[in-house]
Structure 1
Amino acid sequence: MADECFYTVFETVAGFAAIGWNGTGVCSFRLPAGSAREAERALLRRLPDAGAAPPPLPVRAVIDGAVRYFAGGRVDFGDVPVDLGVQQPFFERVYTAVRRLGWGETATYGAIAKLLDAGPEFARDVGQAMAANPVPLIIPCHRVTAANGRIGGFSAPGGSHSKAQMLAIEGVEVRDGVVTRDVPQLGLGF
């Protein structure tokens, strides 16, 4: 049944992460935290009725990819099936656009809004979508930065520091919260 959700907690070199899935795809992902309990609690806040279970092979592949990612391996999660649940239509469009950002590519909140034919006032809405992202890493919200060269906020454990570390894994240099080199931008005119 697509609505029945399961989860597991797993360890990476960056800490303990958690993944939730149903019959449609990955429905929750919690970035590494300091303890397995912390990762589990974060996931269960989103999926309170999920049951712990061994992951099926497709989910195991996502876990293996996440472990490789945090160890510095180049991993593409673009084909991972996801179930984001009911989302605001604008958020759905944001998630689709951000999912197209590849390894080491970044875009600003405003550039994502512009890509979606929304005015600059929608940059804040893009930021809200990133903060509410149910599957960070799979939808790479860490690749969306502020317009002023700053990396912007991050709601995962460790906040902006974790975002900077993830960008560094991908070769994006960040110093004192500022991207310090030109990074590849999504090839859509922004």
Structure 2
Amino acid sequence: MSPKDLIDIGVFSALYIVTVGVFNLLEFISPVMTLVTSAVSIVAAGVPFMLFLTRVRHAGMVTVLAVIVTGFMLLIGSPPVTLLVGVVAALVAEVLLWAGRYRSRYLAVLGYAVFSTWFAGLFLPMLYAREDFLSSPYMEAMDADYVARLDDLLSPAVLIAFDVSTLVFGLIGGALGLRLLDKHFRRAGLA
């Protein structure tokens, strides 16, 4: 990768993290808001991701972005499986982007949808290590009532529905990003 590629990855990783973070700050209101803000984050983050794809010319750039984003999530308390899910999702997205020679608009939207499934890693431990997740340092920062309501809300069925919905919200976010890219960013000379 060239220095320009690394700069692009750094800039767009920061934009992606800020976009996701702004909406996820509201998750502390209630457990329901945790799921709502995740969905809104996926849609909103489609804009910087699609703008990033205008600068991607070869394999590896999306995966490095995923490592940075999910690595940051680990630093703020997300479960380690988030990094694994993020890297796998990014590799699949890379295959889709490569199949479209990094220029297919439809595969770019689909690639973003697949990339967005890294959000499933945030709650995945609720399926296989529920007690450990609920007693993690991140959850200890919440009050006991919040943790109890989250435990009640995130049944296996809700978790599976959320995991599947990350693809749907990713498609919406990718389409929104593509629309804004065409409508505003190309006119402004940014894409």
Q: TM-score range, shorter-chain basis?
A: under 0.3
Normalized per residue, the structure richer in helix is 2
Q: Which has the larger radius of gyration?
A: 2
State TM-score, norm by structure 2: 0.28
Bigger strand share: 1
The TM-score with structure 1 as length reference comes to 0.28
Compare relative contact order (CA 8 Å, sep 6+) and give the higher one, 1 or 2: 2
